[in-house]
Chains A and B, each alone.
Chain A
């Protein structure tokens, strides 16, 4: 398995970078073959940098004209009518609200459960079970999003509906759970639950990696002082793994923010001009699902531009989240080396 955390057992083996670095390579690098090969490798690296830059630049370039022609404030308006290219009115505030709440619900469920599963695999599972258990959870990551979508809509949704009705009837006086007349499981809350299942394997895999690397001295030290297994985990494993768990959560969040097809399939879209509600039992659209729902009708550049602008905001959002995850990991590496 590849490590996304950037920390791995491989760091312990003295490679060309870590441990005892070779002074020079001991190999001639002046030959033509070396220059070509090294150049190709460097070129590929530069290409990766160029790709990410291009994504940002292109989206920005296509989005600017549309945002410039926008008749309402792009950041604070709830409207979205882009059929008349002389009267573009679109804003992202509602998309942002839905995207953030759906992802927040997903993280609230996936992070605790994911960390618990990772602790189970690394600390509690019997030896014969820990590998298969890890593989099983990884299999969950292999299930394509669209399958989550149809399963969520047709199979899990009807099962979850009573839970929603119960919430509505018991704590409906809280604005978050007020009645919104959305039938079935097509609500923000339910999509959050499905997304939690989808990001769980990511959170688990990364947390597992850091927990497995807890220094054995810390663990044995705790046990030698008479700690129970749970106390050992609390004083040795969790503090050590905390940065890793934070970055795992961040990467999971990045996935949840950008998840498209499952949200598109499950979440009810709201008719134009519907009232603003705080309710999680309402429908809505995220950035990704708004783009996907309208993908068939990108005909004029302006119209496509409005959706590309939404895509740009999503790109910036995920970029920031992933960058934070990366920075947390880097700081941790500086600590452990």
Chain B
């Protein structure tokens, strides 16, 4: 960290007007901003490299969206895709839909949100409004660690708890438990960020009116930060709905509609894609791309919704 004013010496190319330019071309120093050729060239190269890196990063995004979109769109145009399940459909046959998987993904996502949002928001309130000293530091550190827990490890943990320790069956709810682990840190971090942005004057004004602290948080702080919290929840949902690894361990695929979280297996979009990914028969391959497109659309919708909410409802200064 430099705290002093930086001097341009590292490249050894700061020129004063009377120094000879290093290039053999002997460009004479011009009046203003006399940059020796080499430096100007470097500057231009850097500019090109930065633009190039950005365009390079866009290639996979466009390519993936184009691949999935062009291979998957025609099945989505058929209404049976949104109304039928795959019951009785073999990989040879065309037809059937993804409603069972869409339902499963939505049910699991919402259940996960119902559990993680209260825990996440309360944790963020603790960190911003109450937390002091070592405990708060520890909580904050643990949230970071939770952010980095690989999803397969979350799935294994729930397996170790749910199946080997308690001896329960693999059901939809077990998947939700694994997803809760992944969603909590996203909700905590985004909520925390928003609560920090709420101006202190609002809190002080409320205290000055004799409002107790808990009511201040509930009635003043949370409503002010509401849109940011919604954004965090939507982004968290987008993350867990696209998650596959815990589902491999805890939620094998079935072809029919299943809406019971506590009995039997629950199909989801990721496991539907996973089911057909080794297929080479055209009907199954088409279904795989269509399911992938459905999942991408769902996740992108949540993401865009999250961004729109945060754009139009951020804390006013």
**A28 touching B119, Cβ below 8 Å:** no
The CA of A1 and the CA of B186, in the complex, are separated in Å by: 10
The A96-150 residues at the B interface (CB cut-off 8 A) are 113, 116-117, 119-121, 123-125, 133, 135-140, 142-150
Q: Say if the beta carbon of A285 comes within 8 Å of chain B.
A: no
Q: List 26 A-B contacts (CB under 8 A).
A: A2-B189, A13-B196, A33-B215, A38-B213, A41-B129, A44-B123, A45-B136, A49-B142, A52-B145, A58-B161, A59-B156, A116-B52, A119-B50, A123-B50, A137-B61, A143-B61, A144-B295, A146-B244, A147-B273, A156-B63, A226-B33, A228-B43, A231-B13, A231-B43, A318-B148, A321-B148
Chain B 133-152, CB-CB to A under 8 Å as 1, else 0, gives 00110111111111111111
**A218 touching B5, Cβ below 8 Å:** yes
Q: Say if the beta carbon of A267 comes within 8 Å of chain B.
A: no
**B57 touching A62, Cβ below 8 Å:** no
Q: Looking at the complex, which one of A200, A236, A336 makes contact with B57 (CB distance below 8 Å)?
A: A200
**B156 touching A49, Cβ below 8 Å:** no
Closest to A26 in B: B207
Q: Looking at the complex, which one of A222, A251, A291 makes contact with B6 (CB distance below 8 Å)?
A: A222
Chain B 1-44, CB-CB to A under 8 Å as 1, else 0, gives 11001111011011000000000000000000101000110110
Give the segment of B79-87, B93-101, B259-267, B296-304 that binds chain A: B296-304
**A48 touching B142, Cβ below 8 Å:** yes
Closest to B238 in A: A142
The A13-67 residues at the B interface (CB cut-off 8 A) are 13-17, 22, 25-29, 31, 33-34, 36-38, 40-49, 51-52, 54-55, 58-59, 61-62
**Are A304 and B119 CB-contacts (below 8 A) given A261-B244, A291-B249?**
no
Q: Say if the beta carbon of B188 comes within 8 Å of chain A.
A: yes
**A113 touching B56, Cβ below 8 Å:** yes
Question: How many Å from the CB of A15 to the closest CB on chain B?
Answer: 5
Chain A 141-165, CB-CB to B under 8 Å as 1, else 0, gives 0111111111101011000000000
**B274 touching A261, Cβ below 8 Å:** yes
**Are A113 and B53 CB-contacts (below 8 A) given A260-B244, A322-B147?**
yes
**A45 touching B14, Cβ below 8 Å:** no
- Name A's B-contacting residues (CB within 8 A): 1-4, 6, 8, 10-11, 13-17, 22, 25-29, 31, 33-34, 36-38, 40-49, 51-52, 54-55, 58-59, 61-62, 113, 116-117, 119-121, 123-125, 133, 135-140, 142-151, 153, 155-156, 197, 200, 204, 217-218, 221-222, 225-231, 233-236, 239-240, 251, 254-255, 257-261, 264-265, 288, 291-292, 295-296, 298, 301, 304, 307-308, 311, 314-315, 318-319, 321-323, 325-326, 332, 335-336
The CA of A129 and the CA of B139, in the complex, are separated in Å by: 38
The CA of A58 and the CA of B214, in the complex, are separated in Å by: 36
The CA of A25 and the CA of B76, in the complex, are separated in Å by: 56
Which residues of B sit under 8 angstroms from A265, Cβ to Cβ? 277
The CA of A222 and the CA of B1, in the complex, are separated in Å by: 15
**Are A59 and B144 CB-contacts (below 8 A) given A2-B232, A124-B51?**
no
**A308 touching B145, Cβ below 8 Å:** no
**A16 touching B11, Cβ below 8 Å:** no
**B193 touching A292, Cβ below 8 Å:** no
Q: What is the interface of chain A mostly: helix, strand, loop, or mixed? A: helix
Question: How many Å from the CB of A188 to the closest CB on chain B?
Answer: 18
**B153 touching A311, Cβ below 8 Å:** yes
Q: Say if the beta carbon of B47 comes within 8 Å of chain A.
A: yes
**B245 touching A261, Cβ below 8 Å:** yes
Closest to A217 in B: B5
**B277 touching A149, Cβ below 8 Å:** yes
Q: Looking at the complex, which one of B6, B181, B289 makes contact with A51 (CB distance below 8 Å)?
A: B181
- Name B's A-contacting residues (CB within 8 A): 1-2, 5-8, 10-11, 13-14, 33, 35, 39-40, 42-43, 45-47, 49-54, 56-58, 60-61, 63-64, 67-68, 118-120, 122-123, 125-131, 135-136, 138-154, 156-157, 159-161, 163-165, 181, 184, 186, 188-190, 192-193, 196-197, 199-200, 203-204, 207-208, 211-218, 231-232, 235, 238, 241-245, 248-249, 252, 270, 273-274, 277, 288-289, 292, 295-296, 299-300, 303, 307, 310
Question: What would 17 more interface pairs be, CB under 8 Å, given A138-B303, A144-B243, A150-B292?
Answer: A2-B193, A3-B189, A6-B144, A8-B193, A13-B199, A14-B200, A33-B214, A48-B184, A62-B164, A144-B299, A145-B244, A147-B273, A155-B63, A217-B5, A260-B248, A311-B156, A315-B153
Which residues of A sit under 8 angstroms from B141, Cβ to Cβ? 323, 326
Which residues of B sit under 8 angstroms from A40, Cβ to Cβ? 122
The CA of A33 and the CA of B215, in the complex, are separated in Å by: 8
